[in-house]
Structure 1
Amino acid sequence: MIKIQIADREGFRQQYLAMIHPSVIIRLKYLRTSLAHLLDPDSIQLDEIVPVKSFTKAIVDSSVKPARAAGAFNKNKYIETLKLYQEGATEIIHVDFVKLTNLIDHLLIEESESLRNLLIGEPLDIKGIHDQLFETFEIATKHEKDVMYLAFSYEDLGTEVRTYFYDQAISLYCAYCNISKANHRKNPKSGRIIDQYQLDHFFSQTDHPMLALSLFNLVPSDYVCNVPNKGKILFSDEFHLNPYVSGFKRDMVFKPLFDELGVHLEAIDLKIMVDRDSHKWKQFIGDADERDLAPDHGNINVFQLYGKYNDRDLLWEVNHLYNTYVSAAKNARSIQDILDIIEEGQNDRYLNIKIWYEQTSRKHFHEKDFGRLPHSKLYRDLLDHAFGVYAESLGEEVTGILEESYQTERGGE
């Protein structure tokens, strides 16, 4: 998994807030008015009905069965419907409108820090902020959560949100697998969509409805990772790694496995380099010792990364590339030629390694750029492995440069 890198993180947050905050404020106000109508139908002002009737219908339909007819919420029938909305119901689900109103009032306080944090809070904080608000205002039932979702509806505001992510182009390939495209393109002439990625909700909208529009709860991903792989699995900070927080880095490395003669690359192992009892182990593979034993836990399991990276065609491709790396690592003359590349008048040995690698692999050298091309971490891990195992003479200098490249100031995560 690749960390999502954002060059101007604060600018990204503030632009998103400026775009989405007004829409959420309006929806919160509509929802509060709708709840006030349900609490006291006699207080309804006629000019309030049209903007909020869809909210009211959604609340009523979730509270009583059978659902009321759509026409029952037309302006001329609205007040009567609310006065009698439980009449004839075969099932009545209690929803505490007062608690919900108190929470909304809290979020609507001018310059509300709580609302800002829900929308643009840091990825490690947003779940705790959300859960604390629900605990404080005693929002616990599914139906109460569904009511709050109306103000943060991804269905209603998702087009606006997706357009923002498309325009920012923060990740060109799926952050979860680094295999499939996660970009958005339109035909410049017709305007029709050519490529379109998905936005996965890291924390589910069902359990965390007020995070449905949270900036760092929306992960650019491809369809397979988002729907068939993750599906309805409930993610948590304990058992799943958030790509806004970190990628696998070198805590998980792709390691080549060879045939009996040690010649042909037959498989790719996903080698976890952290302690078995560590937090990251759980995020990578759950609380099991082997992959696939707890498929709901750990990003490696959920996104089926072992299978995806042991695709036959991909193995054929990287087998040839790995041999190229090994040949260079073993050959002092080749290494000298790489270190002494002179391009446009420069002879920086670090830069020369970078140039050689990117020309050879057609991938980016630095971690911060891995999300811009597919299989970037795989290719770079194979380079590191080849020089780590086979480096001779000048190869040690290259190995040092490879280590240096992971430093933050050089381009590491």
Structure 2
Amino acid sequence: MIKIETHNLDQVAQEYFDQVKFKCLERARFYKKVFNFLYGSGTLNALQNDTLHGKTKKRIANFLLEHNKMKTLAHFGNLVPANVYQWVNDHEQTIFGLLEFLDNVDNLRQLILIHAINSYDADSDVQSTFNINYGQHQNTIFPIINDIIDYAFFDDFAYNIASSVGINSCPYCNRIYINTVIDKNGKHIIRPTFDHFFPQSKHPFLALSFFNLVPSCYYCNANLKTATIITHQTHLHPYLEGFDNGCSFRVVISGLHPNISDPRNYKIVLQSDIPSYSPKYRKIFGTRNSDGTHNLKEGNTNLFKLEDIYNSHTDIVGELVLKADRYSKGQSKALFSLFDLLGTNKTEFYQYYFGNYYHENLFHKRPMAKLTKDVLQQVLQSFF
């Protein structure tokens, strides 16, 4: 996994918050008008004249109504305690408190700009403050929160954020391009998906949190991670850390086939030099059991099936080994002596000859960057 490192993250996050906050506040304030009217302190005119889209207003009202659903905006008068679901009346004070909390720009700033390391605790603290949880309120109070901190709002900003962050390969797998493309007319073409590191279903207050939204490929997001429950203790967060030297691709070479580039000659394994009791080892591989196996519910290598998936790319390993072999046969000294004459250096030559980036802080620019360097460090030690 590759750590997301770009110089302007805080600025991009602040610009995003400065725009998205208005959408959240508009939705929170309409909910307040609905509940004020429902319990006698609001007016019908306040509901009907609110600038929120009519379909949205009707949908919100009908979510609360058990009887006499609204068919048109003229039916707001149906919002009386006798017509709403019992849970609405039972949680009246809790919902009022939540609406006051979410109709506060400072509270929204805290939730949307919260740093990755603090986000889980921040969501848990708010849930605890209002005594709500997924198990009891997933179909009642949680949908109200999800409707105010609405992930659908993010679509308006996703292309700009993805373009500004500038991550070209998936940080979870470093295997697939996730470039953002906007044509010369400003038309949106493609962008990465954004994974909720902590799933919005169980962490609704983080649905729009900048550092909880990880640009990633479709396969890692939708096929592998999905809504898996993870923590900072069990998995790596791309905004906090990457594999670095804690995990390396190693190649087991069989040499059974005469063509050195034949992919059948190679098997890719993931190894680590850090001790198995270290916190980072757990986040990469999972806790080691007494029988030597790992807890497969922990660790990014398990969650994203990295060893299995990378073994579908042994053809790349074969090509790298072939290039390394040809480079090492009497060419290394000659090439090093030519660097000055060619006006280049080892880093540039590496990128040209092996087709990827040498420095770890640039691995996000191209898929397979970590695999490339790890393999070459194994089979071409003299270069490094």
Alignment of 1:166-245 (within 5 A): 166-188=162-184, 191=187, 193=189, 195-245=190-240
Instruction: Work out which of the residue numbers 119, 123, 138 in structure 1 matches 2:116.
Output: 123
Give the C-alpha shift of residue 61 in structure 1: 5.0
Q: 1:30 to 1:92 in 2, by over 3 A?
A: closer
Amino acid across the alignment from 1:306: E
Query: Does the 8 Å contact 2:286/2:298 carry over to 1?
Result: yes
Amino acid across the alignment from 1:184: T
Give the C-alpha shift of residue 148 in structure 1: 1.2
Please list the CA deviations of residues 166-206 of structure 1 after superposition, one character each: whole Å capped at 9, or x if unmatched: 3315211111111112123245469463x332111111111
Does structure 1 residue 96 correspond to structure 2 residue 102? no
Instruction: Work out which of the residue numbers 130, 143, 146 in structure 1 matches 2:143.
Output: 146
Describe the SS at the equivalent of 1:243. Answer: coil
Query: Does the 8 Å contact 1:291/1:301 carry over to 2?
Result: no
Query: Does the 8 Å contact 1:197/1:221 carry over to 2?
Result: yes
Give the C-alpha shift of residue 324 in structure 1: 2.7
Amino acid across the alignment from 1:177: C
Describe the SS at the equivalent of 1:139. Answer: coil
Distance in structure 1 (CA, Å) of the matches to 2:272 and 2:35: 51
Query: Does the 8 Å contact 1:186/1:192 carry over to 2?
Result: yes
Query: Does the 8 Å contact 2:169/2:367 carry over to 1?
Result: yes
Query: Does the 8 Å contact 2:357/2:366 carry over to 1?
Result: yes
Distance in structure 2 (CA, Å) of the matches to 1:386 and 1:219: 33
Query: Does the 8 Å contact 2:2/2:238 carry over to 1?
Result: yes
Query: Does the 8 Å contact 1:63/1:95 carry over to 2?
Result: no
Alignment of 1:23-34 (within 5 A): 23-34=23-34
Instruction: Work out which of the residue numbers 69, 75, 83 in structure 1 matches 2:73.
Output: 75
Give the C-alpha shift of residue 49 in structure 1: 3.3
Distance in structure 2 (CA, Å) of the matches to 1:168 and 1:159: 15
Describe the SS at the equivalent of 1:82. Answer: coil
Please name the residue that 1:254 is paired with: 249
Query: Does the 8 Å contact 1:340/1:352 carry over to 2?
Result: no
Query: Does the 8 Å contact 1:119/1:213 carry over to 2?
Result: yes
Distance in structure 2 (CA, Å) of the matches to 1:338 and 1:116: 53
Structure 2 stretches of 5 or more lacking a match?
Answer: none
Give the C-alpha shift of residue 152 in structure 1: 0.6
Please name the residue that 1:84 is paired with: 82
Give the C-alpha shift of residue 226 in structure 1: 0.9
Distance in structure 2 (CA, Å) of the matches to 1:382 and 1:37: 66
Alignment of 1:1-400 (within 5 A): 1-38=1-38, 40-41=39-40, 43-51=42-50, 62=63, 69-71=69-71, 74-86=72-84, 96-109=91-104, 112=106, 114-140=107-133, 141-142=137-138, 143-155=140-152, 157-188=153-184, 191=187, 193=189, 195-259=190-254, 265-288=265-288, 294-311=295-312, 314-326=313-325, 328=327, 331=330, 334-335=332-333, 337-338=335-336, 340-342=338-340, 352-388=345-381, 395=382, 398-399=383-384
Q: 1:356 to 1:152 in 2, by over 3 A?
A: same
Query: Does the 8 Å contact 2:2/2:174 carry over to 1?
Result: yes
Q: 1:235 to 1:54 in 2, by over 3 A?
A: farther
Amino acid across the alignment from 1:307: D
Query: Does the 8 Å contact 2:69/2:78 carry over to 1?
Result: no
Amino acid across the alignment from 2:147: L
Describe the SS at the equivalent of 1:33. Answer: helix
TM-score, scaled relative to structure 1: 0.80
Please list the CA deviations of residues 123-157 of structure 1 after superposition, one character each: whole Å capped at 9, or x if unmatched: 111111121122122233222222111111112x0
Give the share of equivalent positions with the same residue, in percent: 22
Distance in structure 2 (CA, Å) of the matches to 1:95 and 1:281: 46
Structure 1 stretches of 5 or more lacking a match?
Answer: 346-350, 389-394, 400-413
Query: Does the 8 Å contact 1:35/1:56 carry over to 2?
Result: no
Query: Does the 8 Å contact 1:60/1:85 carry over to 2?
Result: no
Distance in structure 1 (CA, Å) of the matches to 2:246 and 2:294: 20
Please list the CA deviations of residues 50-103 of structure 1 after superposition, one character each: whole Å capped at 9, or x if unmatched: 5367666556655565x76441xx3322123334324xx7x8576523223223
Query: Does the 8 Å contact 2:159/2:180 carry over to 1?
Result: no
Q: 1:149 to 1:208 in 2, by over 3 A?
A: same
Please list the CA deviations of residues 367-400 of structure 1 after superposition, one character each: whole Å capped at 9, or x if unmatched: 1111111101100111222344xxxxxx3xx53x
Distance in structure 2 (CA, Å) of the matches to 1:354 and 1:135: 52
Please name the residue that 1:391 is paired with: none
Distance in structure 1 (CA, Å) of the matches to 2:33 and 2:124: 24
Q: 1:207 to 1:62 in 2, by over 3 A?
A: farther
Distance in structure 1 (CA, Å) of the matches to 2:193 and 2:293: 25
Pairs aligned (count): 372
Distance in structure 2 (CA, Å) of the matches to 1:285 and 1:277: 11
Distance in structure 2 (CA, Å) of the matches to 1:291 and 1:343: 53
Distance in structure 2 (CA, Å) of the matches to 1:30 and 1:303: 41
Describe the SS at the equivalent of 1:124. Answer: helix
CA RMSD of aligned residues (A): 3.0
Distance in structure 2 (CA, Å) of the matches to 1:41 and 1:80: 13
Distance in structure 2 (CA, Å) of the matches to 1:104 and 1:137: 11
Please list the CA deviations of residues 303-322 of structure 1 after superposition, one character each: whole Å capped at 9, or x if unmatched: 111122111xx312321212
